[in-house]
Amino acid sequence: MQQERSPFQQLADLLAGKAPGLSALDLTLGEPKHAMPSFIQAVIDEHAADFRRYPPIRGTEDFRNAVAHWIAQRYQTGPLISAEKHILPLNGTREGLFHAAIGARDWAKNKPAKDMSNPAILLPNPFYHAYAAGAHAMGAEAVYLNGTKDSNHLPDLTALAKQTELLDRTIAFYYASPANPQGTAADLADWQQLIALARKHHFMIFADECYSEIYRERPPTGILEACKGDLSNIVTFHSLSKRSNLAGLRCGFAAGDEAFLTQWTKYRNMAAPQVPLPLLAAAAAAYRDEAHVEENRRLYNEKYDQASQILSTDFTYQRPEGGFFLWLDIRQFGSDIAVTEKLWKEVGVKVIPGSFLARKNAQGINPGEHFIRLALVAPLQETSTALTRLKDCLIENKTLESEE
Which stretches within 288-379 are classed as H helix? 291-311, 336-347
> What's the pTM?
0.96
Q: What is the pLDDT of residue 134?
A: 96
* Mean pLDDT for all residues in the chain: 95
Question: Which CATH number is 7-30+292-403 given?
Answer: 3.90.1150.10
Taking Cα atoms as reference points, which of 242, 246, 254, 238 lies closest to residue 282?
246
Residue 330 pLDDT exceeds 80: yes
The CA-CA-CA angle for residues 353, 355, 359, to 5°, reads 155
Per DSSP, 115 falls in state: -
Which run of H or E residues covers position 89?
strand 87-90
Mean pLDDT for 117-135 is: 96
pLDDT band with cut points at 50, 70 and 90 for residue 1: very low
Question: How many Å apart are CA 300 and CA 228, to the nearest integer?
Answer: 33
Question: How many Å apart are CA 50 and CA 59, to the nearest integer?
Answer: 13
pLDDT per position as a tens digit, 73-106: 999 999 999 999 999 999 999 999 999 999 999 9
> Please, which residues bridge with residue 350 across strands?
26
Taking Cα atoms as reference points, which of 185, 207, 215, 208 lies closest to residue 324?
215
Taking Cα atoms as reference points, which of 8, 2, 20 lies closest to residue 353?
8
Q: Where are the domains of the chain?
A: 7-30+292-403, 40-289
- Residues with Cβ < 8 Å from 288, sequence gap 6 or more? 66, 69, 70
Taking Cα atoms as reference points, which of 47, 46, 92, 84 lies closest to residue 68?
84
Q: What is the pLDDT of residue 208?
A: 98
pLDDT per position as a tens digit, 189-247: 999 999 999 999 999 999 999 999 999 999 999 999 999 999 999 999 999 999 999 99
Task: List phi, psi (to 5°) of 373.
Answer: -105, 130
Taking Cα atoms as reference points, which of 248, 277, 270 lies closest to residue 92?
248
For residue 91, the Cα-to-chain-centroid distance in whole angstroms is 15
> Please, which residues bridge with residue 327 across strands?
373
Strands 252-256 and 87-90: antiparallel
CB 175 within 8 A of CB 124: yes
The residue ranking higher by pLDDT, 162 or 109, is: 162
Per DSSP, 154 falls in state: S
Q: How many CB atoms lie within 10 A of CB 232?
A: 14
Residue 403 pLDDT exceeds 50: no
Task: List phi, psi (to 5°) of 206.
Answer: -105, 95
Mean pLDDT for 108-123 is: 85
pLDDT per position as a tens digit, 341-364: 999 999 999 999 999 999 999 899
What separation in angstroms does the CA of 384 have from each of 172, 374, 380? 40, 12, 6
Residue 399 pLDDT exceeds 70: no
The residue ranking higher by pLDDT, 193 or 317, is: 193
Residue 107 pLDDT exceeds 80: yes
Mean pLDDT for 358-371 is: 94
Mean pLDDT for 19-26 is: 98
Task: List phi, psi (to 5°) of 114.
Answer: -90, 120
Per DSSP, 3 falls in state: P
Burial of 174 (0-12, 13-18, 19+ CB in 10 A): buried
Residue 396 pLDDT exceeds 90: no
Pick the CATH number of 40-289 from 2.10.109.10, 3.90.1150.10, 3.40.190.10, 3.40.640.10: 3.40.640.10
Q: What is the C-alpha radius of gyration for the chain, rounded to an integer number of angstroms? A: 21
E strands, 177-315, are 204-208, 234-239, 252-256
DSSP collapsed to 3 states, 272-303? CCCCCHHHHHHHHHHHCCCHHHHHHHHHHHHH
pLDDT per position as a tens digit, 248-286: 999 999 999 999 999 999 999 999 999 999 999 999 999
Q: What is the pLDDT of residue 41?
A: 98
